[in-house]
Structure 1
Amino acid sequence: MKPEIRASACTPQPQLPALSFRVQFSSTRRGARLARLLVVQQLDDWGIPRDGRTASTVAAVVAEFAANAATHGHTPGRDFALRLTVTPESVRIEVTDTRPDKLPPAPGRPPGLPGPETESGRGLLLVEALADRWGTGPYDLYTKTLWAEVDRPPCHD
């Protein structure tokens, strides 16, 4: 008896243009939380399920970048910006804050591990572990941008 040949569970999807949006948030803890919630909702609206691997990973990276923008990139009276771009291959996250003088360590060189009693300092280690690529730039005299890309699986998010 011949083995049954099954069609691949992955059917080719039509090539769609990149989807993108940009929103500004107050440089506060509330603004950081809203950024994460909005990203999850926007991904779901674009067909990337909120309970899938891609949305969960993107939400964690956005949460870290937005928290850093509100905590370390805060300038009184100035917001941070979030840009999300989705292509069939990846999701790109960009968070721009108003403190270009406070650059994070270079990708691949996250800060050393904080002590066990320290309550912060692990966020970029999380980004390093979750994102497929991340970095900084472009930035100017007034802003800096942290970006990360999360590759999308070929068939399922």
Structure 2
Amino acid sequence: MNQATPHVGAPAAPFTQLLSSTRRGARLARLLAVAELRSRGASQDLTERAELVVAELAANAVLHGLVPGRCFRLTLALDPSARRLRVEVSDARGDLHPHPRPADPDPLPTGGRGLTLVTALADHWDCVPYPPSGKTVRAELFDTTA
């Protein structure tokens, strides 16, 4: 049987996992992301930033993207040659799109800082439709370690 040999430095196939839209599913998304990035040799800095981004996006998918009986999807696409990681979290609620909150006068709010963290940790993030009726929140992180 012939197998294609990947080019050195070519991006590996993306990691994709469906997870239950529960707090346990969000926690598992974070743990799986860390394990996957470590197994692919991602830097500690990139892994730590991705861990927080995945935690926030997965928590948002569970909290704001929940449709009973539907899962959310985590996808990680690591491109070592470009030193880039794309994190995608897709959920079934396409009618609710994330927006960063304006500055809150309360210095210690109890919620609503998730996308502020994503904005601070990711080099770019956006939201696109996920057919047929959901959405995908994508974040790109660049590895700046030498």
> TM-score, normalised to structure 1's length?
0.81
Which consecutive unaligned segments of at least 5 residues does structure 1 have? Answer: 1-13
The match for 1:130 among 116, 121, 125 is 121
Counterpart AA for 1:116? P
1:26 paired to 2:17: no
C-alpha distance in 1 between matches for 2:92 and 2:23: 16
C-alpha distance in 1 between matches for 2:117 and 2:109: 16
The match for 1:67 among 59, 74, 79 is 59
Q: Call closer, same or farther: CA 1:139–1:118 in 2, change over 3 Å.
A: same
C-alpha distance in 2 between matches for 1:84 and 1:103: 21
Q: For structure 1, which segment, 144-153 or 17-26, has the greater mean C-alpha deviation from structure 2 after superposition?
A: 17-26
1:16 paired to 2:10: yes
> TM-score, normalised to structure 2's length?
0.87
Which consecutive unaligned segments of at least 5 residues does structure 2 have? Answer: 1-7
- Do 1:135 and 1:146's aligned partners in 2 also have CA atoms closer than 8 Å? yes
- Do 2:45 and 2:145's aligned partners in 1 also have CA atoms closer than 8 Å? no
Pair member with larger Rg: 1
Note the C-alpha offset of 1:22: 0.5
The match for 1:146 among 134, 137, 142 is 137
Equivalent in the alignment of 2:40: 46
The match for 1:111 among 96, 101, 117 is 101
- Runs ≥4 in structure 1, deviation > 6 angstroms? none
- Do 1:113 and 1:121's aligned partners in 2 also have CA atoms closer than 8 Å? no
CA RMSD for the aligned pairs? 1.5
Q: How many residue pairs align between the two structures?
A: 136
Counterpart AA for 1:111? R
Equivalent in the alignment of 2:93: 99
C-alpha distance in 2 between matches for 1:26 and 1:113: 32
